[in-house]
Amino acid sequence: MIPVVVLAGFLGSGKTTLLNHLLRTSGGTRIGVVVNDFGRINIDAFSVSAQVDSMVSLSNGCLCCAVDGTELDGMLTRLAAADLDVIVIEASGLAEPAAMVRMVLQAPGVSYGGLIYVADAVELDAVPHLSRDLAMADLVVLNKVDRVSSLPSLPCSAPVLPVSYGQIDPALLFEVRPPDLGPRQLSFDDLDDHSTHAHASFDSVSFESTDPLHPKLFMDFLGARPEGLFRAKGFVRFPLGTFMLQTVGAYVSFTPADDAPTQLVLIGAGIDPEALTDWLLACVTDEPVTEQDMLWVLRYAR
Ligand SMILES: Nc1nc2c(ncn2[C@@H]2O[C@H](COP(=O)(O)OP(=O)(O)OP(=O)(O)O)[C@@H](O)[C@H]2O)c(=O)[nH]1
């Protein structure tokens, strides 16, 4: 299943800037991009290797297509069949973000990768339905912080990542493959530790346990949306079965898996690693668990 990330935000907030940044910094990750028109994507920077009607194949392995709202469904199906790692839809001018999320949730062959809302730190007051838009977001990118002297506070429960020029770390949104270096030699730049670069930082916590977790306690943990948590992924062993877990914001998906210890990675901005670990440790149980208890998990099984 290819994750689909929806990028929304008010006019001029910096969505295209963020998209270009993702295309530039995602190593060997093959990204499918859906936009209104190509003119907005800095295609020249990626040397175009092929073009088929409204689709452009970029030499870094990415595909870029331009659609209007009515074509979106078909293009998503087409991209899902291509050999991609992630699809990013820039919402401006296309369907309403909420309608787009519904479309993604229903489309075959793709999984929901989150609604990322880009907010302009300078122009917050100009956004007509800011709190409504923020309430839908799984992650808020507070952009253009280079232009403000203090960070505005946003009325939302989603994690907020203050950045300039959309420079978020792509690993926050999707799995990043190492660059495909081909036959050439490594350069010093390749050896550079990119974690120290200008990307806005995010935190991740790993958790492992061979003892099973209590389904109800674990679902309480996910349901509480611990502060700053954006994604969780990995395997969770319950007394009555092991599942692969993917969460983005409030979206939760469990897929039955072979028996394995619990191995989770939690990703977010401004999370409290110690508190999250303690919370997960408190979910480890030796109490008997009934099939009834497992229903808390099975309702999210796919
Ligand atoms: N100073 C500053 N300018 C920025 C930043 N991010 C983007 N910009 C500029 O803001 C303008 C709008 O950025 P875009 O990325 O085109 O915004 P957008 O949301 O895609 O715009 P629309 O699709 O028209 O809604 C451009 O001139 C960018 O160079 C930032 O962090 N700081």
Give the CATH number for residue 113: 3.40.50.300
Confidence of residue 195 (pLDDT cuts 50, 70, 90): very low
Domain boundary among 179, 212, 235: 179
Range of the domain at 236: 203-298
Give the count of domains, the chain.
2
Task: Verify that 98 and 217 share a domain, yes or no.
Answer: no
Query: What is the arithmetic mean of pLDDT over 10-34?
Result: 91
E strands in the chain: 2-9, 31-35, 48-52, 55-58, 63-66, 86-90, 110-120, 139-143, 160-162, 203-209, 229-238, 241-248, 251-257, 262-268
Q: ∠ CA(232), CA(190), CA(18), 5° rounding?
A: 50
Report CA-CA distances (Å) from 43 to 89, 137, 164, 167, 298.
16, 28, 21, 18, 44
Same structural domain for residues 293 and 145?
Answer: no
Residue 191 covered by a domain? no
285 in a structural domain: yes
Ligand 1 centroid to residue 14 C-alpha, Å? 4
The pTM score is: 0.86
Separation between Cα atoms, residue 302 and residue 299, nearest integer Å: 9
**Ligand 1 pocket member 224 (CB < 6 A):** no
Kindly state whether residues 274 and 137 are assigned to the same domain: no
CATH of the domain at 290: 3.30.1220.10
Instruction: Identify the pLDDT of residue 200.
Output: 59
- The pair of three-digit structure tokens given for residue 297, joined into one six-digit string: 């998990």
pLDDT at 106: 87
Beta bridge partners of 143: 120
Cα–Cα distance between 245 and 218 in angstroms, integer? 12
The CA-atom distances, in angstroms, between 266 and each of 34, 84, 238 are 28, 24, 18
The atom number, within ligand 1, closest to the CA of 10 reads 25
Q: What is the position in ligand 1's atom list of the atom closest to the CA of 13?
A: 19
> Does pLDDT of 188 surpass 50?
no
The region, left, alpha or beta by phi > 0 then psi within -120 to 50, assigned to residue 285 is beta
Task: State whether 170 and 52 are in the same domain.
Answer: yes
Supply the ipTM of this predicted assembly: 0.99
175 and 221 share a domain? no
| Within a domain: 44 | yes
Contact, 164 vs 121, CB < 8 A?
no
Q: How far is the CA of 135 from the centre of ligand 1 (A)?
A: 22
Q: Which atom of ligand 1 is nearest to the CA of 118?
A: 19
Distance from C-alpha of 164 to C-alpha of 154, rounded to nearest angstrom = 17
pLDDT in tens, 115-167: 999 999 999 988 888 898 899 999 999 999 999 999 999 989 899 999 999 99
| Residue corresponding to tokens 């700053």 | 228
Same domain, yes or no: 160 and 238: no
Q: Does the Cβ of 11 fall within 6 Å of ligand 1?
A: yes
Contact 235, 261 (CB under 8 A): yes
Tell whether 147 and 100 lie within a shared domain.
yes
Verify whether ligand 1 is closer than 6 Å to residue 29 (CB atom). Answer: no
Residue 244 one-letter amino acid? M
Q: Are residues 21 and 150 in the same domain?
A: yes
Other CB atoms within 10 Å distance of the CB of residue 219: 20
2-9 vs 86-90, strand pairing mode:
parallel
Give strand pairing partners of 252: 247
Query: Span 193-197, mean pLDDT?
Result: 43
Same domain, 132 and 217: no
210 shares a domain with 143: no
Distances, alpha carbon 162 to alpha carbons 25, 112, 166, 174, 203, in Å: 18, 23, 9, 19, 14
Beta carbons within 10 angstroms of residue 37's beta carbon = 11
Regarding whether 120 and 23 lie in a shared domain, the answer is yes
Which residue among 109, 144, 179 closes a domain?
A: 179
Q: Determine, yes or no, domain membership for 195.
A: no
Residue 78 has pLDDT above 90, yes or no: no
Among candidate residues 124, 144, 179, the one where a domain is terminated: 179
Q: Is the CB of 164 under 6 A from ligand 1?
A: yes
62 part of a folded domain: yes
Ligand 1, atom 2: closest residue by C-alpha: 144
Q: 40 C-alpha to center of ligand 1: Å?
A: 11
By three-state DSSP, how is residue 264 classified? strand
Same domain, 209 and 154: no
26-57 residue pLDDT tens:
888 999 999 887 777 777 777 777 777 788 88
Strand, coil or helix: 194: helix
284 dihedral zone (left: phi>0; alpha: psi -120 to 50; beta): beta
Compute the distance from residue 164 Cα to the ligand 1 centre, in Å. 10
